[in-house]
């Protein structure tokens, strides 16, 4: 760090623009560091353990640096720590860096060098993102933990149904909440040893998921916008909270119309000349939130969906194309719902089943 200190103090001229730039290729055990000066020349390469203690020892007391790192598992705490130590931090969007992620000569040291050079030349090339606050991350972790438990419960239920089918029996169709009680009486007499522990685990998961649901309900007190979004059809506390905490802030996307694309619900494009083939949705962004919006769209188009302009529009799309057309309609409604929720968030207005068109300008 002595070499960094001498050259940085000599070159740094303003507080807002550090003279030296560092790229960090974050690894699970070790992170590779590459330091470049204001002319893009490499000053130093290092390797540091990816732990808070190691990073604090390495960067505490060092002259202010511009530091670029890719988003990932470790980037949230690294971002907070490095900013706390006085450095300027740029978190690069790894999905939008094909020059690094798809390079044919990819290695950790080269990736760190690429990050440093791009950050030194023009940080916008890194498509920077902003991490949510620690409190919001903890609230989002609650939703993610619930999703893991729901997935585990579904796996156990399906496994138990398969075991019973192999004995020539079937378990009754019912909700997962009532499954332990309903299934207990339908399990073949010769299967209590294998079925009992599974039923017990399902009952425990039901209790844990129920407790998490009650905690998610209380998030509306902390984030009032959740109550606004819940006025939309098919949007409960879970969907609204996941939407707010995943996007973090309304200006996470440039406009409401781009919210669907941000969540991977827009068809990809590969237009060249006269060729413009129809492609699948991009499926970028948060997978879990995208699945929740698709579930909400299924409810809107289902038999219990309330009458509204969104439902009528989706049903009209579903009429064309048979079964495939219905699937496309569900995705289209999910995309439009993402746009509608973002517009409601920005305006603070509740859902309008049949919005009035804007008056014509004279």
φ/ψ bin of 165: left (φ > 0), alpha (ψ from -120 to 50), beta (otherwise): alpha
Measured between its terminal Cα atoms, the distance across the chain in Å is: 66
* Residue 38 reports pLDDT greater than 90: no
Tell me if 328 is assigned to some domain: yes
Let me know whether 258 and 186 are in one domain. no
Residue 9's pLDDT is 46
Over residues 89-110, mean pLDDT? 78
User: What is the rounded distance in angstroms from the CA atom of residue 324 to the CA atom of residue 335?
Assistant: 17
Q: How many domains does the chain have?
A: 3
pLDDT tens for residues 14-32? 456 788 999 999 999 999 9
Tell me if 360 is assigned to some domain: no
pLDDT tens for residues 243-255? 999 999 999 888 9
Over residues 282-300, mean pLDDT? 92
Let me know whether 184 and 233 are in one domain. no
Let me know whether 40 and 116 are in one domain. yes
* Residue 57 reports pLDDT greater than 60: yes
Q: Which residue has the higher pLDDT, 102 or 197?
A: 197
Tell me if 260 is assigned to some domain: yes
Tell me if 352 is assigned to some domain: no
Residue 276's pLDDT is 45
Answer whether 46's CB lies under 8 Å from 116's CB: no
Residue 58's pLDDT is 96
The Cα-based distances of 76 to 8, 54, 83, 286 in angstroms read 26, 16, 11, 16
Q: Which residue has the higher pLDDT, 47 or 274?
A: 47
Let me know whether 163 and 71 are in one domain. no
Instruction: Please give the mean pLDDT across all residues of the chain.
Output: 88
User: What is the rounded distance in angstroms from the CA atom of residue 332 to the CA atom of residue 318?
Assistant: 10
End of a domain among 65, 92, 126? Answer: 126
Let me know whether 228 and 292 are in one domain. yes
End of a domain among 217, 232, 258? Answer: 217
Let me know whether 36 and 103 are in one domain. yes
Q: Which residue has the higher pLDDT, 92 or 275?
A: 92
Q: What percent of the chain has pLDDT over 70?
A: 88
Q: Which domain holds residue 161?
A: 134-217
Let me know whether 47 and 75 are in one domain. yes
Residue 324's pLDDT is 81
Determine how many CB atoms are found less than 10 A away from the CB of residue 244: 25
Let me know whether 210 and 267 are in one domain. no
Nearest to 245 by CA among 94, 138, 92, 129: 138
Residue 11's pLDDT is 46
Q: Which residue has the higher pLDDT, 166 or 229?
A: 229
Tell me if 158 is assigned to some domain: yes
pLDDT tens for residues 321-353? 677 888 999 999 999 999 999 999 999 999 999
Pairing state of beta strands 42-49 and 30-36?
antiparallel
Over residues 258-273, mean pLDDT? 74
- Domain containing residue 47: CATH number: 3.30.420.10
Let me know whether 319 and 295 are in one domain. yes
Tell me if 357 is assigned to some domain: no
End of a domain among 190, 217, 244? Answer: 217
Let me know whether 284 and 207 are in one domain. no
Answer whether 15's CB lies under 8 Å from 64's CB: yes
Tell me if 298 is assigned to some domain: yes
User: What is the rounded distance in angstroms from the CA atom of residue 230 to the CA atom of residue 8?
Assistant: 51
pLDDT tens for residues 185-209? 888 887 778 888 999 999 999 999 9
User: What is the rounded distance in angstroms from the CA atom of residue 175 to the CA atom of residue 165?
Assistant: 18
The Cα-based distances of 26 to 22, 94, 208, 349 in angstroms read 12, 11, 34, 42
Q: How confident is the model at residue 102 (pLDDT cuts 50, 70, 90)?
A: low
């Amino acid at each position: 760090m002595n070499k960094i200190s001498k050259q940085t103090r000599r070159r740094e001229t303003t507080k807002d623009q550090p003279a030296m730039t560092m790229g960090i290729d974050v690894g699970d055990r070790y992170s590779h560091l590459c330091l470049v000066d204001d002319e893009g020349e490499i000053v130093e390469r290092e390797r540091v353990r990816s732990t808070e203690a190691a990073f604090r020892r390495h960067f505490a007391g060092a002259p202010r640096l511009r530091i670029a790192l890719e988003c990932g598992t470790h980037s949230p705490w690294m971002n907070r720590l490095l900013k706390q130590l006085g450095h300027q931090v740029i978190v690069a969007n790894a999905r939008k860096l094909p020059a690094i992620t798809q390079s044919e000569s990819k290695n950790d040291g080269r990736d760190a060098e690429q990050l440093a050079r791009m950050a030194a030349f023009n940080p916008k090339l890194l498509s920077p993102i902003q991490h949510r606050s620690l409190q919001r991350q903890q609230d989002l972790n609650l939703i993610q933990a619930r999703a893991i438990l729901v997935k585990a419960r579904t796996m156990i239920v399906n496994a138990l149904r398969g075991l019973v089918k192999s004995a020539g029996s079937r378990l009754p169709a019912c909700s997962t909440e009532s499954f332990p009680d309903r299934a207990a009486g339908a399990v073949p007499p010769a299967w209590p040893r294998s079925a009992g522990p599974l039923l017990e685990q399902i009952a425990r998961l039901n209790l844990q998921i129920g407790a998490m649901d009650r905690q998610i309900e209380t998030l509306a007190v902390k984030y009032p916008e959740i109550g606004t979004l819940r006025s939309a059809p098919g949007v409960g506390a879970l969907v609204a909270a996941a939407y707010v905490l995943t996007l973090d802030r309304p200006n996470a996307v440039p406009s409401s119309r781009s919210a669907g694309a941000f969540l991977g619900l827009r068809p990809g494009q590969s237009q060249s000349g006269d060729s413009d083939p129809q492609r699948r949705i991009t499926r970028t962004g948060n997978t879990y939130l995208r699945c929740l919006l698709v579930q909400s769209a299924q409810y809107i188009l289902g038999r219990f969906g309330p009458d509204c302009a969104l439902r009528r529009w989706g049903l009209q799309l579903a009429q064309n194309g048979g079964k495939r057309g219905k699937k496309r309609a569900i995705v289209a409604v999910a995309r439009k719902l993402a746009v509608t929720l973002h517009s409601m968030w920005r305006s603070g207005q509740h859902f309008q089943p049949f919005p009035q068109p804007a008056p014509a300008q004279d």
